[in-house]
Chain A
């Protein structure tokens, strides 16, 4: 396992580094600065952000963006593919409502297929060890192989659901990862009827398994609700796209943000206007920016994104089984926003169920197998595309010169939105479980669990190009650097 603990003792301060956080896609580093009594002084989640892609794509023709930028990530490339395609739709003069029905539905199918596979991967492969065996379980047990041994049925379902989602991506984008389906102004193919028929055969089973997965989370929660609810929890604002009439929608909508009591901070905001509503703060100790809602300012304006945020911001889920689960989810917090960090898992499974239901609806639609693929309008020099990626709101923004070359690219990825919340979660968990206690493997894992609830895709949030060296700094309470260490991140 790629996990180690290093301690630096100097001037009575201990610095504990868990690096890299295992089972998070990509690399991250947690620093806990403790005082001489062994109390947690401060905690920080460091993410090395090097915006390689934003520079790299400058000068390239705009139509390459959906294919290039998806390579930021091997877990949810479809989100980048679609967000970039949506931005480039605007560049070729095709607004979101002007796409052909076939193009819109094929993209939706691709996206919901990805949602299914990504949520299945996260839950079954990355989280089920913690949830099924408990956070204090021995290291050797906390992996998917142990799950496969003790809960073979669950492991099998995870694998099959992921594969189903990946097959949908293949059938719509041409490849399971890094395909080419969405192009500016539309899509490059129809769904083959053979693929459609194969999916139709399996979709009921997927819905059944997804419903069972929701049940499993509820069951795990039911065993120790107090623990589950309090784990790394804190009140926060929430942000997501919301579809028509307030429906949960992963592909398109307007921006809505609510506070921890459910009051709307912004609503029905056209996402091309995102810069007026969302700012990005730079903090000296982190490479990753901290987005905030301008209306509330840097200190109070941070928010969560992702499954928990989406189920808090939306008014309903437009599919029957998921809507039923959503009602239970909402009732648990008396209709108020749910601020329990570990309930991300619950929300994620409800979304997985919804994705399966939407896929079923789409598979019945004739527009997928026939109809107009591409449209064109009047060219523009700028485009913004936003989708709800598995991990949360994803913003792509491009400016294009008169020769069709990209001259500016700005990306705000889900994990960046969750930067402050993840730091908050680490601080809470460290405060709750590490204060004055012996540092044990199980306790360290608690911190990781807090982060993992957000399913952070750090490679994506960091845009790391190859081996970016990391710098480790040790600070005392006066903010003076006591020690600095450097090493490669590929460890």
Chain B
């Protein structure tokens, strides 16, 4: 078996390695597929579906589908763009996302993705759900208003930090992130250095008293849209 997988991405010949997902292979070829629940240090979650691409005529999640020889993949069709927009819009209306004063603004993947996808306003009505803050821990804060249920923190706690301190309760739109203790965050061992804190793509899990330290103009997405770093990668020869 060859250790190179050949596939077509937007009509361009690309190569991948065995065991890679479409998303990882695309990254290596300098092609950005939008994503939210995926994180390079974690096993794929496959829950947000923002990474949906068209593979040989069918829509599949790029983060969970292994790349295979001869795949013909489309990433930038109008249909896919609209699908992704709709998914991101749903995340916005399901939570309470006030970007203008959110401390994650400028460093937030959800916000950056909305900009990249050119979302002006969601097509769905806002739900304004009642979400809670868990402010019981001296170092870490969970703001349920901004959680998008991507599950990165849950996976990071298990896979990287090796302590299953975070989980989901409820189902569907009622699903909420929760610290695994009756006392909430106060009852678990968690700190700013934990991967489960660092992987949050939005302003939901935050380290206390670090807010707004990075001036506007110096934040991650102030000048470059999300995905620019991937697009700058030279395709492997």
* A residues lining the B interface (CB < 8 Å): 59-61, 63-64, 67-68, 71, 92, 173-175, 178-181, 183-184, 188-189, 374, 403-405
Q: Mark the stretch among B36-44, B214-222, B228-236 that contacts chain A.
A: B214-222
Could you tell me which residues of chain B, from 62 to 101, have a CB within 8 Å of some CB in chain A? 100-101
- Whether A189 and B215, one on each chain, are in contact in the complex, defined by CB atoms closer than 8 angstroms, is yes
Contacts of B211 on A, CB cut-off 8 Å? Answer: 61, 63-64, 183
A465 to B145, CA, bound (A): 20
State the main secondary structure of chain A at its contact with B.
loop
Beta-carbon nearest neighbor of A64 in chain B: B101
* B residues lining the A interface (CB < 8 Å): 100-101, 103, 133, 135-136, 141, 208-209, 211-218
A203 to B135, CA, bound (A): 46
- Whether A188 and B135, one on each chain, are in contact in the complex, defined by CB atoms closer than 8 angstroms, is no
Contacts of B208 on A, CB cut-off 8 Å? Answer: 61, 404
Q: Which of A68, A173, A174, A189 is within 8 Å of B101, CB to CB?
A: A68
A374 to B103, CA, bound (A): 17
A189 to B214, CA, bound (A): 8
| Selected A-B contacts with CB under 8 Å, 26 pairs | A59-B133, A61-B208, A61-B211, A63-B209, A64-B101, A64-B211, A67-B101, A67-B103, A68-B101, A71-B100, A71-B101, A92-B209, A174-B216, A175-B216, A178-B100, A180-B216, A183-B211, A184-B209, A188-B213, A188-B215, A189-B218, A403-B135, A403-B136, A404-B135, A404-B141, A405-B133
Give the A-B pair count, Cβ closer than 8 A.
50
- Whether B141 and A61, one on each chain, are in contact in the complex, defined by CB atoms closer than 8 angstroms, is yes
A410 to B138, CA, bound (A): 26
Contacts of A92 on B, CB cut-off 8 Å? Answer: 209
- Whether B135 and A183, one on each chain, are in contact in the complex, defined by CB atoms closer than 8 angstroms, is no
Q: Which of B100, B136, B141, B213 is within 8 Å of A183, CB to CB?
A: B213
Beta-carbon nearest neighbor of B132 in chain A: A59
Contacts of A183 on B, CB cut-off 8 Å? Answer: 211-213
A287 to B44, CA, bound (A): 55
Given contacts A61-B141, A178-B100, contact A67 B133 (CB under 8 A): no
A184 to B214, CA, bound (A): 14
A184 to B135, CA, bound (A): 18
Q: Which of A71, A175, A178, A405 is within 8 Å of B135, CB to CB?
A: A405
A188 to B192, CA, bound (A): 20
A146 to chain B, nearest CB (A): 35
